[in-house]
Structure 1
Amino acid sequence: MRVLPALFTTIAALPISSCEDFDTLAALANYGVNASNFFTGGSRASIAGNPAENDLAARDESSGCKYACGTLSLLYHGNTAYPKSPAYHLEEAGYWSAVQAEVEPYCFFEPEDSVAVAVTILLSRLTQCPFAVKSGGHAAFANASNIAGGITINMARMNKVKLSEDESVAKVGPGNTWYDVYTALEDRNLTVIGGRVADIGVGGLTLGGGVSFFSGLYGWACDNVKNYQVVTAQGTILDVNHDSHFDDLYYALRGGGNNFGVVTRFDLYTYPQGMMWGGSRVYSINETDTILNALVDYAYDAPSDPNAALIVAFTYAEQLGGYVIAADLEHAKPKDNPPIFDAFQNTSYISDTTKIVSLPDLTLEFNSSNPGGLRETYWTATYKVNLDLLQYMVAEYQTQTNKILDVAGLGPSFVLQIIRADELRHMTRNGGNALGLSEEEGPLLLLNIAFWWNSSADDERVLQTCQTILDNTVAYAAERELAKEYRYMNYASQYQKVVPSYGAANHARLREIATKYDPSGVFQRLQPGYFKLDGAPRTGSP
C-alpha cells in the first residue's frame, strides 16, 4: 500500500525549530501511518494514528527493527528483503567491497520515492532501529553504507534522470550510478560533473566532494548541484539550494556527507560534452623520476588547459614483473595527445589505451581497474606539491608494501592526483562548499592509498601497512611544512577523522547546522555509519 506523496507538504510546512519536542507518531500519521500499537507490543503499523515519541527501554533493538521492517513490508509490498531470501542475497552482492557485503542488516528496504524514505526515517526514530543508506555501495569499509541488525535503505529504485525543459539541469535520483547518468545524457551531448568509475553511485561521491574528469573546467561534483531534495530527521521533504531559506543546509551538503539528511534527488547543472580523449599509459618503474617530474609540472601548468585531467598510480603487478606506473590521461576535447601531456607522450611506455572515446565508455575502462568482490581499504592525505616529498612517498610505499607481497590476491595501489588551483577557485561557487580549501593553497597533492586482497586473515597486516605508509609520509611532510589538514571523504579510511579536517571554523559551522536541522542527533546516532561530525568511524588503529 502506498501513502499519497501530496502528504509531504503537510510535514514540510512544519517549522524546523518545532522539532525539539518532536512527535514521531504524529509525523507518521501525517503520512497515513498508524504506529501507535508499537508501544503495546504490535508487530507492525497500520494505516493512520497519533500519540508521541516515548521511552523505548522496554523494547530491545531487534524487536524495534522487527516492527520497523514489518511495517515497511506492509506499506511497500515487495520492496523489503529479509535474511536467507534470494532478494537479500542479491542485495548483499550489490556491494563493491567484500568487507561491506559481509554486514547483515535486519532487512534491506528499497524506497521508490521521498515519502517512503521519510516514513523509514520516522520508523527508525520511533523504534530506535538504526539505519544506513546505500547509493552505489562503493565505500570500502564495513558499515559505511550497510548496518548490522538495522535497516539498510537501498536507493536503487530511485534512479530517474530527467532533464529540465531548457536542459540546463538534470534531476538525478540517488539510485543511479554515474554510468547510468552519463548514458542518459549522452544523446543530448550533455554531461554533469560526477564520478570517473562507471559503478560508483551518485549519492556518496557527490556528498563527499566528488573529483571529476572536468574539475578543471567546472569544479567538483558538490560545486555543481543546483538543488538537493532532502528528507530531514523530522520526515520533512525540502528543496535545498543557495537561494532558498535553507542556504545553510545547502552549504553543509556540499562535502558534509550523510550528517544532515537523506538526499533523494540531486539537481545537477548540465554542460555540453561530446566525445573526449582518454585512457591509460603504463610505464616501467624505472621511469619514476621522469613521471614524478611530469606530475609536478602538471600541477602548476594545469590551469593553462582546464580540459585536462590526470591520475598517476604506482602499483604492483606480478604479471608485469613487479612495480609499474599507470598514468590516466584525460582531455575533454576529442584531440589526440594534447600538449599538456607531452612529457607522458615522450616517455617510453609499456602499453597505451588512450583514444577518442565517449564519457560512458571511459568510465567502463576505469571500472575494470576497480574490480568488485574483494576486500578493500582506502586511506588519504593531502600535501603541498613538492618533488622531494613525492620521491620519498613512492619509496616509502614500496618499502612497506614489499613486506606484505605474500598476501594472497594483493593489489596495492598508491594513487596521486593534483587538486588544481582552478579547481579550488570553482569551490567558491554559490556561497562556497564545506571543505575548507582555498585557491591560495593550490595546487595540492591528493593521495589515495587503495589496497585490495582476498582473505580476512590478512586484514590486520594490510591495514597496518596502509596506516604506516600514511603516517610516515604525513610525518615527513609535516617536518618540512608540506602537510595539509584536509582529508577527502571519498578516499578516507574508517580510522581517519574527515569532517574535523575541514578546519575549526567549518567544523563548528557544520555542527551548528546539524543541531539546527537534527536537534535529536538522528543522523549521528541512528545512522552511525560513515563519517560523522566528530571523530573517525572507528577509534584507535588497526
Structure 2
Amino acid sequence: MGHLNATALNEKGTSVAVGAGAVWNDVYGYLDGFNLAAAGGRNGLVGVGGLLLGGGISHFSPRVGWACDGVVGYEVVLANGTLANISTTSHPDLYRALKGGGNNFGVVTRYELKTFPQGNMSVNTFSYDVSQVGAVFDAFNDVAADPNFDPYVSLQAGLLYSSAAKAWSVSASAYYTKPVLHPEVYSGFEALPSISNTSSITSVASLAAENPTPPLNWLFATLTLGTSSETMLDIFKTLNGSLYDFNPAGGVTWNFAFEPLPSVMLSKSAATGGNVLGLNPEDGNAIVLLFSALWPNSSSSDAIYQQGRDTFAAIEKVAEGKGELRKFEYLNYAGPHQTPLASYGADSLNFLRHVSKKYDPTGVFQHKVPGGFKVW
C-alpha cells in the first residue's frame, strides 16, 4: 500500500484526496503550503489508513471531531473485487461503518478528507518531579472536565516509568492550535514547580515530523474514564505498587498517557454523517488512557505481557470501584485481549455485522485478512 501515497487538493481547496499508503507527514507537509490542515495523526509517521479506520484522535478533534468524521469519501475495493466510491450519497451504510469499523469491509485505497484553514500552533511542554503528580492531575482535570472545553486544546498528561532506574517522570504536552504562547487555559500547569517548561510556535508539519520509534517490542491497552483527578491519582498509586519491583532482563519502559475526550468533540459527528463509535455528547467529558510498554529483550516478552495484563486489570478495577470506568475502548490504542468494536455498544456492533455481511457475504475480510479486530 505504501506506493498509494499521492496527495492532491481539490480546486476549491475544501478537500484533499490522500492515498491509503500515505503517512500523515505526507498530508501535513503538502497542506502546509496552502495554510490548510486536515484532522489526522499527531505523529507524522502514523499511517493515514489505519488511524482513520479506527476513529482517530487529532490535535484538531475538539474543533472538528474524530479524524474519521473528516472523511467525505472513500475509494474501496470490495470483497468481490469491484471498486466503489463511498460517501453519504453512495452506499451510506458502508460510509458510516468505515468510520471506526476497522478493516472489516474492504481495502480502502483513497480517502477524501475535509480541509480547514490552519496556520501555526503553539507547543507547551512541562516536566515535573513525581512529587507533583497529584497537582499535575488536578491541572489536567481542570481542563479536561470543563463543560466549556476550549476547542483549541490538545493535551496529554504523561507518566513514564523505567524499570532499570526505578524512577518515574511526569509530564504534560499542552498543544494549542492557535499561535498563542502560554495560553491561559494552561495556567494551572504553568503555576506548578517544574523541572522544565518550554513554549514555542511551530507549523503542524514541523510538529508532526517526529523521529522514528526504535524497532523494539510493544504492548498496548486502553480504557476510558470519567473526569476525576482523584481516580487518576489512585491509578498512579496502583501502577507504582504493581510495577515498582518488576525489572525483567533488558528492562522495560512503561508509558501512560491521559488525554481529554470532551463532549464538544463528540458533538461534531452527527453533522458529518455519523460514526459507529457509540459515543454521545450527553455522556459528558471523559478521559482516554493509553497504557503501553516498550522493551528491547524479546526473551522478556512473556513476563512483560503477563505483568501488563495483571497491572491493567488492577487499574480497571480501581476505575470501576470509583464508578469512573466507561465502556468505550479506543480501537487504535486497544490491546489484542480487548474488544473495542463490542465496546461501541450492541446497536453499533449489530450494524457493523450487518454491513459486513452485506458487502462481504463470504467473510473474506473476516477469515482471510490477518490483523485487526473482527466483527464476526
Give the shorter-chain TM-score range.
over 0.9
Equivalent residue number for residue 530 of structure 1: 372
Distance 1:407 1:449, change over 3 A: farther
Q: The residue matched to 1:426 in structure 2 has which SS?
A: coil
- 1:279·1:355 contact (CA, 8 Å) conserved in 2? yes
**1:372 CA drift (Å):** 2.6
**1:476 CA drift (Å):** 2.2
**1:324 CA drift (Å):** 0.9
- 1:418·1:443 contact (CA, 8 Å) conserved in 2? yes
Equivalent residue number for residue 86 of structure 2: 240
Further displaced range: 273-282 or 299-308: 299-308
Question: Percent identity of the aligned residues?
Answer: 34
**1:415 CA drift (Å):** 1.0
C-alpha distance in 1 between matches for 2:279 and 2:46:
24
C-alpha distance in 2 between matches for 1:190 and 1:302:
28
CA RMSD of aligned residues (A): 1.6
**1:474 CA drift (Å):** 1.6
**1:417 CA drift (Å):** 0.8
Which segments of 5 or more consecutive residues in structure 1 lack a partner in the other structure?
Answer: 1-154, 535-542
Alignment of 1:54-133 (within 5 A): none
What code does the residue aligned with 2:79 have? A
Q: TM-score, normalised by structure 2?
A: 0.96
- 2:220·2:333 contact (CA, 8 Å) conserved in 1? yes
For residues 155-189 of structure 1, give each alpha carbon's deviation from its aligned partner in whole angstroms, at most 9, with x where no partner exists.
11001000000010000011111111100111100
What code does the residue aligned with 1:395 have? K
Q: The residue matched to 1:156 in structure 2 has which SS?
A: coil
C-alpha distance in 2 between matches for 1:319 and 1:188:
47
Q: Which one of the candidate residues 18, 22, 30 is aligned to 1:184?
A: 30
Q: The residue matched to 1:389 in structure 2 has which SS?
A: helix
Equivalent residue number for residue 129 of structure 2: 284
Runs of 4+ in 1 over 4 A off after TM superposition: 317-321
- 2:35·2:117 contact (CA, 8 Å) conserved in 1? yes
Equivalent residue number for residue 468 of structure 1: 310
Q: Number of aligned residue pairs: give it.
A: 376
Higher Cα Rg, which structure = 1
Which segments of 5 or more consecutive residues in structure 2 lack a partner in the other structure?
Answer: none
What code does the residue aligned with 1:530 have? G
What code does the residue aligned with 1:521 have? G
C-alpha distance in 1 between matches for 2:340 and 2:163:
34
Q: Which one of the candidate residues 343, 350, 353 is aligned to 1:501?
A: 343
Q: Which one of the candidate residues 144, 161, 166 is aligned to 1:299?
A: 144
- 2:164·2:252 contact (CA, 8 Å) conserved in 1? no
For residues 107-133 of structure 1, give each alpha carbon's deviation from its aligned partner in whole angstroms, at most 9, with x where no partner exists.
xxxxxxxxxxxxxxxxxxxxxxxxxxx
Q: TM-score, normalised by structure 1?
A: 0.67
- 1:226·1:268 contact (CA, 8 Å) conserved in 2? yes
Distance 1:320 1:455, change over 3 A: closer
**1:397 CA drift (Å):** 1.5
C-alpha distance in 2 between matches for 1:234 and 1:223:
27
For residues 398-424 of structure 1, give each alpha carbon's deviation from its aligned partner in whole angstroms, at most 9, with x where no partner exists.
222213234424221011111011111
Bigger proportion of residues as strand: 2
Q: The residue matched to 2:244 in structure 1 has which SS?
A: helix
Asked if 1:250 is matched to 2:95, the reply is yes
- 2:149·2:262 contact (CA, 8 Å) conserved in 1? no
What code does the residue aligned with 1:424 have? L
Equivalent residue number for residue 62 of structure 2: 216
Asked if 1:419 is matched to 2:261, the reply is yes
Equivalent residue number for residue 429 of structure 1: 271
**1:352 CA drift (Å):** 3.3
**1:274 CA drift (Å):** 1.1
Distance 1:344 1:319, change over 3 A: farther
Asked if 1:410 is matched to 2:252, the reply is yes
Asked if 1:450 is matched to 2:292, the reply is yes
Bigger proportion of residues as helix: 1
C-alpha distance in 1 between matches for 2:197 and 2:118:
24
Asked if 1:167 is matched to 2:41, the reply is no
What code does the residue aligned with 2:36 have? L
- 1:279·1:362 contact (CA, 8 Å) conserved in 2? no
For residues 483-536 of structure 1, give each alpha carbon's deviation from its aligned partner in whole angstroms, at most 9, with x where no partner exists.
1111111101111111111101110111001000000000000003111114xx
